[in-house]
Amino acid sequence: MNIRSSPDVFDKLALIGDANHYEPAGDRPQSERSHTWRPDDLRSCISHVTTPTGKKPVLKSMSTSACEKNCNYCPFRAGRAGMNRVSFTPDEMALAFDRLQRAGLVDGIFLSSGVVGGGIRTQDRIIDTLEIIRNKCHYQGYVHAKIMPGAEEDQILRAMQLADRVSVNLEAPTARRLEALAPRKDFDGELFRPMEWAAQIRQRAQAEMPGAIRASLVTQFVVGAVGDTDLELLSLSDRLYRQMGLARAYYSRFNPIPDTPFENLPAVSARREFRLYQASFLLRDYLWDVEDLPFEGEGNLRLDVDPKRAWADLHLLHQPVDMMSASRQALMRVPGIGPKTADAIIRARRETRLKDLAQLRALGVRGVERCAPYILLDGRRPAFQMSLFD
């Protein structure tokens, strides 16, 4: 990877490395963490990100890794010793991106930042960088920008005009949880209000000037460091999906970082993060209510079973879904049947009687053995062999 006509800026990019390791930029968050960090290697800040227009190598970086906030989980928190802090001017970052992009090494940028001089000034630096990328470098591809805590409404509007996606990271599901995670962040004023502004900007644009705003809105939660429950996280996610048109909630499991106040807390399991994503998709794509999700007593999902299957075990084993007459919504309650396969089943049953699992397999139902215990075909439960795997 040799494009270093301006060594200083590329050295800084390599030094900052995978600064946004825990911040997903695209649609397959967990796959973005698969590469390993190599000190001083520019490849460390390039992630393969699934975007609405396909999988791309994306530069994930920060305008600065200095920060005046002191979030208890964060490697960039104020005062953490042993950090090599680096900062980029908007010109530096934009032109470095331009060179990487013209060399074919990246096609997209995710730009975040530590907070220096307040959220408003920091947001200005991000916007200035995006202005150069869009208007001087004429880059039309994927741009994902972070909205800083305390950003102003006009700044959010401009960021949403320039980016394809903006993140307002709430980090925690309630003000009380945020206080324990990030003592210098104000949940309502600095995070939730900007989130509401971003949602209103999108809604207004859709009603008055479709196409004027192309940015979707996402958020991220740090999971499991301060006693937050799945119920809290998914209740807020559901509200954001329904009321604010949130495109996606990211769940980033807590991992302790040395020399931070949370260094001795246990890491959260990848399985918990995975179950949160499964449940979140049921809320967003299958239109489940939070009350439908099978939480255990303390407000968390079971780790050992997919939440859709856990629900089906409780509700469908004794009341199976008839494939010939069930509504689309009822079909989508069955493990293995999603929106597309439900539509395929409805189309097929207008033409023919669905009598066996092979027909469902041909219609695209994945792992028909998974759905067999919960359905009726031709008025009967189909014969099936129980799968040993969830």
- Which one, 57 or 75, has the nearer CB to ligand SF4? 75
Which lies closer to ligand SF4 via its Cβ, residue 76 or residue 374? 76
Rounded to the nearest 5 degrees, what angle is found at the Cα of 88, between the Cα atoms of 84 and 94? 140
| Residue 265: CB atoms within 10 Å | 16
Contact in structure between 77 and 259 (CB atoms under 8 Å) = no
Q: Is 76 or 288 the residue whose CB approaches ligand SF4 more closely?
A: 76
Question: Smallest distance from the beta carbon of 170 to ligand SF4, in angstroms?
Answer: 12
The distance of closest approach from Cβ of residue 150 to ligand SF4 in the complex, given in angstroms and rounded to an integer, is 10
- Of residues 168 and 354, the one with the C-beta less far from ligand SF4: 168
State how far the Cα of 280 lies from the Cα of 290, in Å rounded to an integer. Answer: 9
Q: Are the C-beta atoms of residues 287 and 329 closer than 8 Å to each other?
A: yes
Q: Does 71 bind ligand SF4 (CB under 6 A)?
A: yes
* Binding characters for ligand SF4, 8-47, by CB under 6 A (x = yes): ----------------------------------------
Element at 13 (helix H, strand E): helix 7-16
When asked if residue 110 is in the footprint of ligand SF4 (CB under 6 A), the reply is no
- We find the least distance from the C-beta atom of residue 25 to ligand SF4, in angstroms, to be 15
Reported as half-sphere exposure (CB side, CA atoms, 13 A), residue 273 has a value of 20
Give the C-alpha separation, 184 to 179, whole Å. 8
Residue among 14, 67, 86, 106 that touches ligand SF4 (CB under 6 A) = 67
Q: Is the dihedral of CA 133, 135, 139, 145 positive or negative?
A: positive
Query: Contacts with ligand SF4: how many residues (CB under 6 A)?
Result: 9
Options 14, 46, 115, 198; binder of ligand SF4; rule CB under 6 A: 115
Q: Find the farthest-apart pair of alpha carbons in the chain and give their distance in angstroms, rounded.
A: 71
**Residue 16 Cβ vs ligand SF4, minimum distance, rounded to whole Å:** 12
Give the whole-angstrom CA distance, residue 221 versus residue 30. 14
**Which of residues 12, 21, 60, 69 is near ligand SF4 by CB under 6 A?**
69
SS3 assignment, position 39: coil
Q: Which stretch binds ligand SF4 (CB under 6 A): 71-79, 254-262, 310-318, 374-382?
A: 71-79
Classify 118 as helix, strand or coil: helix
Query: Can residue 144 be called a binding residue for ligand SF4 (CB under 6 A)?
Result: no
Residues at the interface with ligand SF4 (CB under 6 A) = 67, 69, 71, 74, 76-77, 114-115, 182
